[in-house]
Structure formats: structure tokens, C-alpha cells
Structure 1
Amino acid sequence: MSDVSLGMPQLPAPDYPADVRARLEADAKEVIARYPGSRSALLPLLHLVQSEEGHVTRTGVRFCAEQLGLTTAEVTAVSTFYSMYRRKPGGDYQVGVCTNTLCAVMGGDAIFDELKEHLGVGNGETTEDGAVSLEHIECNAACDFAPVVMVNWEFFDNQTPQSAKQLVDDLRAGRTVEPTRGAPLCTYKDTARMLAGFPDERPGAVEATGGAGPASLVGLRLAKGEGVPGRGADHVISPRTADHPKGQQRPTHPSSHDAPQETSASDPHHPAGPAAEEGE
């Protein structure tokens, strides 16, 4: 049955070569077996077909539909909803610049603008050599390290326009680039296969996977009353103001947000109370 788009019939999507289809069917069977309901396997299956061609093609959509007993319209609706599924060919390295609030004010907007000029591409576009696709992205939960650039969803923290331009130049030149933390960098297709749920079998990749960075752990250390990194081991902060007897000076903190603060007394001229009923 042909797809229908805007009332115009389209030719059936071409199929994968026999050897590729056999390999993908074996992988798909493994993915589907993880779920009690096969429909739940659609997201990883879309990553699987994306790992084959670098984006979700009509062939990939039809393959997912056949494996899960869905219509191509149902698969297309999901693949076009999530931004991590490409709708057109892209580069080996997806370079995303966070332009959400904190990264933006810390320099993310400037990085994104300079990369567009440096690479000669706009948002969602790919360099002529097919190496780099550029996009602005939303928060990646790395605000402690703003501004952040991500390459195939690996972190490059505390970037500047200069370091970001050097980063993309190295990627285009084929030079080794190491993320600030986490696993080694790999191509977009390899990343897509991992997102489908298959292990990263490169030597040392598992051992290199990191957790939260030091900046993210400052709050936890403060809550435990430990020393603040970079301020000496004897700079200890207690998590509770009750730990400091009245009359003793409270310790200083790196910022006003690093420890609980005493609140001021209520305004006696504007006391807070239950909302008055209408008509009172």
C-alpha cells in the first residue's frame, strides 16, 4: 500500500539490500524482545534505522512499521515529533550549541553566531564536506559548565567562541577530539546504534564513561558539611544554621545560593493570612 501525503500518492519506499535487511531484522528482533508490548520498541527501532543511513528514511520508516505491525503514518508521526531523529542527511558530527537561558547569557549565543559564520551554515544545516551539522539546542542539564557545546551528545564544557571554532576545525580535519567528560567521541551513526540499546564495544569506552562533574557536586558537598573545592580543606560549611550557636559568626559561602539563608520577618503592616471570602 502506498503512502499518501497531501492527497498525492507516492511510490513505495525502496527496500534495504537483502544482507542489510537480514542484519537489521536480527537487531530489531532483539530490541522488540525487551518490551512486553512491541509498540514500545518504536523509539529504539528508529535509532536503529538511523544508525544505518544517518537519518530516518522512508525505507527506515517502512521497516519499523513492518516489524511492529504499525502503519507508516504512525511511525512517521513519532519520528517527526522528536528532534533526535533526523529527517534529512546530516554530518558525521552533530554539533549542538546550547542557547537556553544560562548558556546563552554565559556566551552560548555568541558561540552559535560565530560557528554559523565560521562554518558557513545556518541552524540545522551541514557543511559541504558532510562532516559537521550545526544546531542550537535546549538545556542539556549541564548548567554548571555553561556555555556547553555537545558533539553527538557528548559534553564539551565551558566553551568559548575560539575553543568552539577549534573544535569544529579538528572534527573536519579528522583530528582526535576528546569530550570534557564521558565516553570517547564517535560518529553520529555509531551514537544512534548505542541509543538503540546496543553496547559500546570500543576498547576503554565503558571505563571512560563519567558521572557528574565537580561543579555539579558542590551542592552535595555543602549539604554534607564538607570543604568547598578550591577553597581549602579547612573551609567547611555546615548545612544547617542551627549548627552555629547564637552569637557565633556564620561561615561565608561562595554565593548566596550555596547554603540556607535566614528569611526576614513578616511585614507587620501587611500580614499574610487566609484569603478573604468574596463578599466579606
Structure 2
Amino acid sequence: MLKKEEKKQLDDILKAHDYNKTSVIAIMQDIQKIYHYLPQKVLTYIAGELGLSEAKVYGVATFYENFSLEPKGKYVIKICDGTACHVRNSTAILNEIRSVLGVSQEHPTTEDMMFTVETVSCLGACGLAPVCTVNDKVHPAMTPEKARALIEELKEEAANEN
């Protein structure tokens, strides 16, 4: 069941898109910015509000790799493993970040829901390789040492917000 505040937030998103069922992808993108994933109860709600079947909405959510049905951390770190990044040792960066955060490919999110670590095929920044992004902000010319420092910086940022 959705809370009153959640429902209002979702209604605002739907209203911004004129409750247009052809805008379902953009609506899901806006929702994912808030939740960092697409909760089942939210997909059910927007399906009903848009007059779409839940199967249709889930089909869209599962077709596009950018959408997630699993909860993600506050900071989503994507490490590029495309050719340019891979040959410049992105694997060492991935291993360092996973080691520092205590996550794995099978369990990519920290228990405190602060970090999620993912690999992607390409971030489209080959000239800056190797790269990673944190919540879509590009961090170029990464090294394992820079990655470790970035994690510490993010932890400090999170601590200062509390």
C-alpha cells in the first residue's frame, strides 16, 4: 500500500507527463530517480493510473537494462568494462571498489543501502578511460587508488548529510 506522500509524488510525476501512457518510459525514469529502483507497488499503481496492464508495465521495466526491480544504494557506482576501459585495467578498479565496500557480483549492494556496484558494457567516455560513474557523474582516468579515495569521499559526504 502506498503512503499518502508517495501517492502524491507519483501523481505529480504522472501529471507532469499528462497521464500519457506513451510516456511510460519517461515516467519510470522519473520514478527511478526517486527510489533508485522500481518498486512493485509503484509499478502496479502507475499501471492502474495509466490504464495499462501490469504485464505491459513490467514488460517495459524488464526490457530496458537501465531499469531495476531490485533496491539499489544511495550511490550507484558503474564501472565501465568496454574495450577502452578494459584494456586500461578497469577490472582492477572494479576489484578495488568491491573489496573496499565488501560487495560482490552476486551481492552488489552494501547492507546499509549506501552503495551499489555494477559493471556496464560502455559509458560512452572512451577517451577518458578507464571511467566509472557515481549516480551518472563521470569520474575519468580512474585507478584503484583514485577509486579508494572516491569511496572515502562519498562516505564522508553521506556522513555530513546526517
TM exceeds 0.5? yes
Partner in structure 1 of residue 40 of structure 2: 58
Question: TM-score normalised to the size of structure 1?
Answer: 0.53
Q: Which has the higher contact order (CA 8 A, sep 6+)?
A: 2
Contact 1:90-1:130 within 8 A present in 2 as well: yes
Q: CA RMSD in A?
A: 1.9
Partner in structure 2 of residue 32 of structure 1: 18
Residue by residue over 1:43-95, the C-alpha shift from the partner in whole angstroms, topping out at 9 and shown as x without a partner, is 12112332343321111111221222111111111111222222121110100
Q: Distance in 2 between matches of 1:100 and 1:149?
A: 11
Matches within 5 A, 1:157-196: 157-174=140-157
Partner in structure 2 of residue 270 of structure 1: none
Partner in structure 1 of residue 3 of structure 2: 17
Q: Distance in 2 between matches of 1:129 and 1:59?
A: 22
Q: How far did 1:175 drift?
A: 6.3
Q: Distance in 2 between matches of 1:62 and 1:76?
A: 9
Partner in structure 2 of residue 184 of structure 1: none
The percentage of counterpart residues that share the same residue type is: 28
Question: TM-score normalised to the size of structure 2?
Answer: 0.88
Residue 95 (structure 2) aligned to one of 110, 113, 123: 113
Matches within 5 A, 1:1-280: 14=1, 16-32=2-18, 38-123=20-105, 125-174=108-157
Q: How far did 1:133 drift?
A: 0.5
Q: Counterpart amino acid of 1:48?
A: D
Q: How far did 1:131 drift?
A: 1.3
Query: Which has more radius of gyration?
Result: 1
Contact 1:132-1:168 within 8 A present in 2 as well: no
Gaps spanning 5+ residues in structure 1: where?
A: 1-13, 177-280
Q: Distance in 1 between matches of 2:63 and 2:90?
A: 25
Q: Distance in 1 between matches of 2:76 and 2:54?
A: 27
SS in 1 for 2:133: strand
Q: Counterpart amino acid of 2:81?
A: T
Contact 1:46-1:60 within 8 A present in 2 as well: no
Q: Counterpart amino acid of 1:139?
A: C
